[in-house]
Amino acid sequence: MSALPPYASPLQRTWHYTFRLICGLIFFFLIFPIMVILPLSFNAENFFTFTKAMLALDPAGYSFKHYYDFFTNPDWQQALTNSVMIAPVATLLATSFGTLAAIGLSQSHVPYKPAIMAVLISPMIVPLIISAAGMYFFYSRIGLQGTYWGVVLAHAALGTPFVIITVTATLVGFDRSLVRASASLGANSVTTFFKVQMPLIIPGVVSGALFAFITSFDEVVVVLFLGSASQKTLPWQMFTGLREQISPTILAVASLMVAISIVLLTVLEMLRRRSERLRGLSPG
């Protein structure tokens, strides 16, 4: 499929290009909705579609007013602040607990391993609405509902499976004799962990942390139920903005979030290349 042989029949030739066209359309379907909001976010009008002035590339048709609104509107700023306060703490909790557990799970003798794994992975599998419902009932009983820590703990729990999975994947390629070598040279286990093990598994830890961060930064269902008005996060504000009154500021926020995901994707790609280089494979 990759290359058309010189002896291909006209039918094969037609199919070859038709197939590529179909795939092109699917890629267009994947990327177009994300890309279309970037120009629309500079709309000078409060419309969700291209105005005549925009299509004519008239500078008067474009403006930064939606961005201006995002950066000056206290509702949006409060939401941004909350997201920035919640996500890093949840990430820190998820990453530290998750990394330790992944190292524990990678040992050769772990009793009840399948059961433990099932429990630790469950926050990723259970539908969010069920997690949100359960947490709402339970956290109300213990007085965590509507508090900052309630949201942080919930988000940390949702983020841990991603840390476990990414760190476990890195540990599969980890040579355990390095730990023994370090110990035989007199290093205690803490030194071994920070000087030998950690630098080698750091790509997995960082990408797990990124996943945990994006989980919290992007999460809306749990925070809707578990948070009170003072824990309103960016996705929450977007959700209410979309459901109640469609405010065009959403397009500016969405564009900024696309920019964030492009940065994240780049970081992950660099990590992937680094770890492939370390393992002696050439980056693709």
Partner 1 sequence: MSDIPAGQVLLTTQDGRPLKAALATALRREKLRALALIAPLLIFVLITFIAPIGDMLFRSVENNIVPETLPRTVVALEEWDPATGQAPGEAVYAAFYEDMLIAVEQKTHTRLGSRLNYEEGGISSLFRKSGRRVDDMDPAVPFKEQFIEVDDDWGTVETWRVIKQFSSDYTAGYFLNAFDAERTAEGVELKPENERIYLYLFGRTLYLSSVITVSCLLLGYPVAYLLSALPLRSSNLLMILVLLPFWTSLLVRTSAWKVLLQQQGVINDFLVWIGVVDNLNRLVMINNQTGTIIAMTHILLPFMILPLYSVMKTISPSYVRAAKSLGANDWTAFWRVYFPQSVPGIGAGAVLVFILSIGYYITPELVGGTSGIFISNRIAYHISSSLNWGLAAALGTLLLVAVMVLFIVYDRIVGIDNVKLG
Cβ-based neighbours of 114, under 8 Å, separated by 6 or more: none
**Span interacting with partner 1, options 64-72, 73-81, 128-136, 175-183, rule CB under 8 A:** 128-136
Burial class (CB in 10 A: 0-12, 13-18, 19+), 189: exposed
Does residue 279 touch partner 1 according to CB under 8 A? Answer: no
Does residue 264 touch partner 1 according to CB under 8 A? Answer: yes
Does residue 49 touch partner 1 according to CB under 8 A? Answer: yes
Provide the β-strand partners of residue 161: none
**Binding track, positions 57-96, relative to partner 1; x by CB under 8 A:** ------------------------------------x---
Instruction: Determine which residue in the list 4, 60, 84, 100 makes contact with partner 1, applying CB under 8 A.
Output: 100
**Minimum CB separation from partner 1 for residue 238, in Å?**
5
Does residue 22 touch partner 1 according to CB under 8 A? Answer: yes
Computed on alpha carbons and rounded to an integer, the radius of gyration of the chain in Å comes to: 24
For the stretch 44-49, contacts whose Cβ atoms lie closer than 8 Å and that sit 24 or more positions apart, written own/partner, are 46/248, 47/248, 48/246, 48/248, 48/251
Q: 237 is written with which tokens?
A: 């504000």
Helices and strands per DSSP (H, E), number in the chain:
13, 0
Does residue 4 touch partner 1 according to CB under 8 A? Answer: no
**Span interacting with partner 1, options 68-76, 81-89, 173-181, 251-259, rule CB under 8 A:** 251-259
Instruction: Determine which residue in the list 63, 122, 228, 230 makes contact with partner 1, applying CB under 8 A.
Output: 122
Instruction: Determine which residue in the list 56, 57, 125, 190 makes contact with partner 1, applying CB under 8 A.
Output: 125
Amino acid letter, residue 37: I
Q: 282 is written with which tokens?
A: 């050439």
**Span interacting with partner 1, options 57-65, 73-81, 153-161, 178-186, rule CB under 8 A:** 153-161
SS3 percent helix, strand, coil of the chain, rounded to 5, is: 75, 0, 25
Give whichever of 85 and 121 is closer to partner 1, judged by the CB atom.
Answer: 121
Residues 154-183 that bind partner 1 (CB under 8 A): 154, 156-157, 160, 162, 164-166, 168-169
Helix/strand/coil for 127: coil
Q: Phi then psi for 180, rounded to 5 degrees?
A: -65, -40
Give whichever of 42 and 50 is closer to partner 1, judged by the CB atom.
Answer: 50
**Minimum CB separation from partner 1 for residue 39, in Å?**
10
Q: Under a CB-based contact definition with an 8 Å cutoff, are residues 124 and 161 in contact?
A: yes
Give whichever of 156 and 201 is closer to partner 1, judged by the CB atom.
Answer: 156
**Span interacting with partner 1, options 67-75, 80-88, 195-203, 248-256, rule CB under 8 A:** 248-256
Q: How far apart are CA 270 and CA 265, in angstroms?
A: 9
